[in-house]
Each structure stands twice: as structure tokens, then as C-alpha cells.
A and B are shown apart, each in its own frame.
Chain A
Amino acid sequence: GDSVTQMEGPVTLSEEAFLTINCTYTATGYPSLFWYVQYPGEGLQLLLKATKADDKGSNKGFEATYRKETTSFHLEKGSVQVSDSAVYFCALSRRSNYQLIWGAGTKLIIKP
């Protein structure tokens, strides 16, 4: 069945470092792909999305490109800040019933 695999955390970086959080998926058809972020003590917020192959989603300096050939949707940011510390979830959405399939989440810790 459909699934999402993302790198295990926690990922610890220094401020201004380059960030990559890997996400790969298995799905039939052409799902939409998402990154959600959960800041400490808060709910989930949509960070960015891509709905078809080669689309690039971007928001708040984060980017991810929908790569069908490698079934990946890696999250990147050129220079992270302490305020980016959060848990990041990769997810895909089945077009048939809008159900979201989630990765396990990656905790990101940014040190000053």
C-alpha cells in the first residue's frame, strides 16, 4: 500500500547551516505531496505542497521538489534559524479519497 518514509531524527544543526530532510514515498497513481510543520506545543501547519511531478513547493525559505523518477520530496532550506526548530512531517494525499498518509516525523533542533 501507499507509504511515506522520512529520515529519522532528531536532526541537530547550527544556525545558518544548510538543511535537508529526506522523504520518499510509495504510491499508486499520482498523489499530491506535502510538508507539514509542528512547532512545540502547537498543531500542524501546512508548510508547502506540490501536486504534480517536477512541481516545486516553497514557503518561508523552505523548498521541496516533486521527483517522480526517484519518488522523493526532500525538504531543503539554505540557512536555518533557531525558530525553525520543530517536527516536520512529510505526507502524501490519495486523490481518490483525500486521505493523508504520513511519515513518522523528523524532529529538527537548531542551536544558536
Chain B
Amino acid sequence: EAQVTQNPRYLITVTGKKLTVTCSQNMNHEYMSWYRQDPGLGLRQIYYSMNVEVTDKGDVPEGYKVSRKEKRNFPLILESPSPNQTSLYFCASSPGDSRSGNTIYFGEGSWLTVV
């Protein structure tokens, strides 16, 4: 089954304790990205990657890091989480192919609370 899998789905952590949210896709997609969803603000892109070893900042990259060492994985790293990073996070992937109409596939989301 084609899917985007992210873990953990739910996490409560403390300020300053480094954490990683993993994301993996099994569709051989070139493009992957991370979004955060906050009430009244819709989805905002954090980082994206057009291919292995290629990453770029989205609209709200501060406080986050990413890496793309393999095509299927795109982890999101919070080196020193703060309460304003409490949010719902989505990983997404896309074939990066105009024939797909740029359809993007989403993971189920990770609820992160920083106290």
C-alpha cells in the first residue's frame, strides 16, 4: 500500500529536549516536505526537499532542521523544542512530476506538545 508514515503520532516533551519526528514514504517520490498546522493559520511549510541531499527552507523554518540522506526518509529535527512549537505536524511527498498535477500525499500527522 502506497503511504507516508510518520512517527511518533503523539508526543509530549519538555522544553529543550531534542527530538526527531521520522517520515518515510514507499512510493519512490522525489519531493518531500514538512508542514505544521495551527488553528486559524492553515498549513505552513517548514522545509522541503526536491531530492536526496537537497533541502530548502519553507515559510517557517526557524527552530527546525531536516536531512535527506535517502530518498524514502525525511526526518524533522527539533534541536531545542520550545512551547511555540506545539503543533500538529504533517509530512508529505510527491512524485515531483507534472503529469501527477503535483498531487501531494500526506502522512497521518504527529501531535507534538512541548511543555
Contact = CB atoms under 8 A, between A and B. Distances in A.
B98 A95 contact: yes
A45 B56 CA distance: 24
A98 B41 contact: no
Interface stretch (A15-23, A74-82, A100-108): A100-108
A40 to B, nearest CB: 12
B41 A104 contact: yes
Interface in A1-55: 32, 34, 36, 42-46, 49-51
B102 A95 contact: yes
B104 A100 contact: yes
Given A102-B43, A103-B42, A51 B109 contact: no
B88 to A, nearest CB: 9
B106 A98 contact: no
Contacts of A49: 101, 103
Interface residues of A, number: 22
Nearest to B99: A51
Interface core residue of A43, A89, A93 (most chain B CB under 10 Å): A43
Given A42-B108, A44-B90, A98 B102 contact: yes
B73 interface: no
A104 B50 contact: no
B42 A99 contact: no
Interface of B: 31, 33, 40-45, 48, 50, 56, 58, 90, 92, 94, 96, 98, 101-109
Interface of A: 32, 34, 36, 42-46, 49-51, 89, 93, 95, 97-100, 102-105
5 contacts: A36-B106, A43-B107, A44-B109, A51-B102, A97-B50
